[in-house]
Chain A
Amino acid sequence: MISLKDVSKWYGSFQVLTSCTTEVSKGEVVVVCGPSGSGKSTLIKCVNGLEPFQKGEITVDGISVGDPKTDLPKLRSRIGMVFQNFELFPHMTVTRNLTLAQEKVLHRGLEEATQKGLKLLDRVGLLAHKDKYPGQLSGGQQQRVAIARALAMDPIAMLFDEPTSALDPEMINEVLDVMVGLAKEGMTMMVVTHEMGFARKVAHRVIFMDRGEIVEDAAKDDFFGKPRSERAQQFLSKILQH
């Protein structure tokens, strides 16, 4: 479904990604972890072309992301993305946030888009907040709306870029619950996160990144059992200590 081959990226002369190669098959949940500044967020933003990369190839559903001839907006509309800071549109109501792209990109009628949006809003348990503005919701609620907004586009895969990093601890679970639900339904997911509990519960594979490189790419049980690389072991021992 998503395949990265030898992807490298530079900011000027500074290399942020070094020959990253991996794959996410249909229905697979892959967790990407690693210390901050290791290039996880950059890598996931390369997958839908939000960040350009200079070398290598990324394909999603067989379509090349880096090819200048690719209709990027169209490809992106088929890949859902959830951001660390939610990025709901603050000047629109929750409902409008959910319907905008359905109307403008998928050309659905307002009624159909609203129906679809509200159904998904109900799914994340926030139907009662449909007429509010994002600023009136808590962080956890905003992130659930953001997930619903991405799902409203009927994506073939979902990308999560540290979806719980900006949340207060008591709100993390409400977001993870939604994500676990999605994973169990068989959604293809690539998730950058430090939530190892989530990884243990639903991930099929775990990728460990450090300094722009994929250091370890292993099945979940192997990764948590005995990571091969020293850096991954250190990282795990640090975040699993408590």
Chain B
Amino acid sequence: MFSGYDFDVIQRSLPYLFRDGMTFTVTLTVMAMTGGIVFGTLLAMMRLSSLRALSLAAGGYVNLMRSVPLVLVIFWFFFLVPYIGAWVVGDTQPIQVGAFWSSVITFTMFEAAYYCEIMRAGIQSIPRGQIWAGNALGLDYWQTMARVVLPQAFRNMLPVLLTQTIVLFQDTSLVYVISATDFMGAAAKVANRDYRLVEMYTFAAVVYFVISYGLSTLVKRLQERIAIVR
């Protein structure tokens, strides 16, 4: 049954798949997660702000990002970021940021919208009295946020944040459309070069499944451990 297939191609391409491909994927995921959570948290604070201009701006951004397909955003950033960069610096030539940095910027911006909604729910899950208590002690807005609200919001939302990160990890495979060599891109390149599409795509699917499923199991365990005693 498997006589027509050559699964050996997987073993031969392992170094390339993991050293080049997976490194790209993991680095991109970690950077986009970090940036996305930082920006997402700021966006969430803006969305919940009593200043109408701030909450409208953040709301508009989140809705825009969530209403556009990720592939489009990736394209859009890849072709536009060089020009925006040039315009910002005042250069006449488009600035070459490369597939990697273009991906990092795209995913940070895109994921920030999703992390924002998670953090917004997290912040809103903290009882109003906690903010009162912080304020009553003389802590200002930023101190109350940083010391009282956000640490609790993060802890409550950690499982959801990590689950979103697992989705992000899978979504990074879309950088394939700008010919970046992430894990998926590397697999596709080998597949097309050796004409071993079934073998490589099956292997890629198995790897994504094992990592994603393994991580979500870990998240579940973590969730049980960190619940705050209230």
Q: Please give the residue numbers on chain A whose beta carbons come within 8 Å of chain B beta carbons, in ascending order.
A: 45, 48, 50, 72-74, 76-81, 83-85, 87-91, 100-101, 104-106, 133, 135-136, 149-150, 153
How many angstroms from the CA of A85 to the CA of B132 in the assembled complex?
Answer: 11
Q: Which 10 A-B pairs have the closest CB atoms?
A: A77-B138, A135-B229, A87-B133, A101-B137, A81-B136, A105-B138, A87-B129, A73-B140, A73-B138, A76-B138
B228 within 8 A of A: yes
Q: Assuming A90-B152, A91-B228, is B147 touching A104 (CB within 8 A)?
A: yes
Q: Are A85 and B129 closer than 8 Å at their CB atoms?
A: yes
Interface residue tally on B, bucketed by range:
20 to 34
Q: Are B229 and A136 closer than 8 Å at their CB atoms?
A: yes
How many angstroms from the CA of A178 to the CA of B57 in the assembled complex?
Answer: 49
Q: Are A91 and B152 closer than 8 Å at their CB atoms?
A: yes
Seed contacts A101-B139, A105-B143, A133-B229; 13 additional CB < 8 Å A-B pairs: A50-B135, A73-B135, A76-B136, A81-B136, A85-B127, A85-B129, A87-B129, A87-B133, A90-B228, A90-B229, A90-B230, A100-B147, A105-B138
Q: Assuming A83-B129, A90-B230, A136-B229, is B136 touching A105 (CB within 8 A)?
A: no
How many angstroms from the CA of A84 to the CA of B136 in the assembled complex?
Answer: 14
B49 within 8 A of A: no
Q: Are A50 and B138 closer than 8 Å at their CB atoms?
A: no
Q: Are A105 and B228 closer than 8 Å at their CB atoms?
A: no
Instruction: Point out the residues of chain B lying under 8 angstroms from A91, CB to CB.
Output: 151-152, 155, 228
Task: Give the Cβ gap from B122 to chain A, nearest Cβ, in Å.
Answer: 13
Q: Are B135 and A76 closer than 8 Å at their CB atoms?
A: yes
Instruction: Point out the residues of chain A lying under 8 angstroms from B140, CB to CB.
Output: 73
Please provide the chain B residues from 149 to 180 with a CB less than 8 Å away from any CB of chain A in the complex. 151-152, 155
Instruction: Point out the residues of chain B lying under 8 angstroms from A50, CB to CB.
Output: 132, 135-136
Q: Assuming A89-B148, A104-B147, A135-B228, is B132 touching A83 (CB within 8 A)?
A: yes
Instruction: Point out the residues of chain B lying under 8 angstroms from A48, CB to CB.
Output: 136
| Shortest Cβ distance from A133 into B: residue | B229
A-B contacts, 8 of them at CB < 8 A, read A45-B132, A73-B135, A76-B137, A83-B129, A83-B132, A83-B136, A135-B228, A135-B230
| Shortest Cβ distance from B130 into A: residue | A87
Instruction: Point out the residues of chain A lying under 8 angstroms from B127, CB to CB.
Output: 85, 87
Contact of B139 among A81, A84, A85, A104 (CB under 8 A): A104
Task: Give the one of B135, B136, B148, B228 with max A CB within 10 A.
Answer: B136
Instruction: Point out the residues of chain A lying under 8 angstroms from B134, CB to CB.
Output: 89
Q: Are B136 and A79 closer than 8 Å at their CB atoms?
A: yes
Q: Are B136 and A74 closer than 8 Å at their CB atoms?
A: no
How many angstroms from the CA of A119 to the CA of B230 in the assembled complex?
Answer: 25
How many angstroms from the CA of A81 to the CA of B139 in the assembled complex?
Answer: 13
How many angstroms from the CA of A77 to the CA of B144 in the assembled complex?
Answer: 13
Instruction: Point out the residues of chain B lying under 8 angstroms from A89, CB to CB.
Output: 130, 133-134, 147-148, 152
Instruction: Point out the residues of chain B lying under 8 angstroms from A104, CB to CB.
Output: 139, 143, 147
Please provide the chain B residues from 204 to 226 with a CB less than 8 Å away from any CB of chain A in the complex. none
Type the 1/0 row for B114-144, where 1 means its CB is closer than 8 Å to any CB of A: 0000000000000101101111111110010
Q: Assuming A89-B148, A135-B229, is B138 touching A74 (CB within 8 A)?
A: yes
Instruction: Point out the residues of chain A lying under 8 angstroms from B148, CB to CB.
Output: 89
Q: Are A87 and B132 closer than 8 Å at their CB atoms?
A: yes
Instruction: Point out the residues of chain A lying under 8 angstroms from B155, CB to CB.
Output: 91
Instruction: Point out the residues of chain A lying under 8 angstroms from B130, CB to CB.
Output: 87, 89
Task: Give the Cβ gap from B136 to chain A, nearest Cβ, in Å.
Answer: 4
| Shortest Cβ distance from B140 into A: residue | A73
Task: Give the Cβ gap from A74 to chain B, nearest Cβ, in Å.
Answer: 7
Instruction: Point out the residues of chain B lying under 8 angstroms from A101, CB to CB.
Output: 137-139
| Shortest Cβ distance from A50 into B: residue | B132
Q: Are A77 and B137 closer than 8 Å at their CB atoms?
A: yes
Instruction: Point out the residues of chain A lying under 8 angstroms from B129, CB to CB.
Output: 83-85, 87
How many angstroms from the CA of A43 to the CA of B138 in the assembled complex?
Answer: 19
